[in-house]
């Protein structure tokens, strides 16, 4: 074991390292003063979300020198190999690349990025994320077929909840309604049939009920409902929109969505 004095920063593996690091970056959001810009922090993973109507002027308006200067003042350094920017766009919109440089380092334009275990794409189709996670349920599907004769249904059900369900339900309120999620649903049905020792052409409706498990689409609806119930303050009711007395006055007012931001 090699011991040395720490001149700056925090030693890796120390129980005080997370606390010291938070003290290092606690004032970082204060330097992001640009309009329509928001800094999202999670440990040492920093994401800057910017809304701008002009992709061409994007690189000129938002210089990140103040963020990098804050890093340097706290003896921190930006890892340019892990730094990229992602432009969200619609399917039919033209893809435009911006030339963004910081300290003579080119910041690359990426079509997708990982954020807290989710693969986010520029068009928010969730195709990449689903393709990346479906390999693990596929492995569990094969394992359930092999071990079904050797294990009871209760043990297989426990393995399913710990290894499969935790994967397919993470972030389900974001990508659960994607058309690409049908691949995950097919794998889920294969596993359910393997656990219950059913035939490949048997309907899974009663099998889900027997295992007290929710199909992927039903789990998506249930998760969205739970999110809405827990975050009612984020939504408005109909009576806040108009003064007309109706039976649906206390219902939540669904926000109008379109693809035009500006």
- Angle formed at CA 35 by CA 31 and CA 38, multiple of 5 degrees: 60
β pairing state of 112-115 and 118-121: antiparallel
Per-residue model confidence as pLDDT tens for the chain (262 residues): 566 676 666 667 778 777 877 777 778 787 777 777 788 888 777 788 877 766 666 655 555 667 777 777 777 777 778 888 888 877 777 776 677 777 777 777 788 888 888 888 888 888 888 888 888 777 777 777 777 777 787 888 888 888 888 888 888 888 888 888 888 888 888 888 888 888 888 888 888 888 888 898 899 999 999 998 898 888 888 888 888 888 888 888 877 766 555 4
Question: Could you tell me the sign of the dihedral formed by the alpha carbons of 194, 199, 201, 202, in that order?
Answer: negative
DSSP 237: B
Measured CA to CA, the distance from residue 63 to residue 70 in angstroms comes to 13
Q: What is the pTM of this model?
A: 0.75
- Alpha carbon separation from 41 to 36, 38, 164 (Å, rounded): 17, 10, 29
């Amino acid at each position: 074991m090699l011991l040395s004095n720490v001149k700056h920063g925090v030693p890796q593996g120390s129980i005080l390292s997370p606390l010291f690091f938070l003290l290092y970056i606690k004032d970082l959001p204060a330097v992001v003063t640009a309009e329509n810009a928001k800094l999202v922090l999670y440990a040492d993973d920093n994401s800057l979300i910017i809304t701008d109507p002009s992709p061409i002027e994007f690189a000129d308006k938002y210089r990140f020198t103040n963020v990098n200067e804050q890093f340097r003042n706290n003896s921190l350094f930006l890892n340019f190999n892990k730094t990229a920017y992602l432009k969200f766009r619609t399917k039919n919109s033209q893809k435009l690349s911006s030339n963004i440089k910081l300290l003579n380092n080119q910041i690359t334009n990426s079509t997708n990025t990982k954020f807290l275990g989710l693969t986010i794409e520029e068009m928010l189709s969730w195709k990449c994320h689903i393709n990346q996670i479906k390999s693990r349920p596929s492995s569990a599907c094969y394992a359930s077929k092999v071990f079904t004769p050797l294990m009871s249904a209760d043990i297989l059900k426990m393995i399913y909840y710990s290894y499969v369900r935790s994967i397919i339900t993470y972030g389900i309120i974001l990508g659960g309604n994607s058309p690409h999620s049908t691949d995950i649903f097919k794998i889920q049905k294969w596993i359910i049939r393997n656990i219950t020792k059913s035939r490949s052409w048997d309907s899974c409706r009663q099998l889900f009920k027997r295992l007290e498990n929710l199909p992927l689409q039903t789990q998506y609806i249930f998760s969205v409902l739970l999110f809405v119930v827990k975050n009612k303050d984020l939504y408005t009711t109909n009576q806040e929109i108009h003064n007309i007395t109706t039976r649906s006055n206390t219902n939540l007012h669904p926000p109008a969505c379109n693809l035009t931001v500006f």
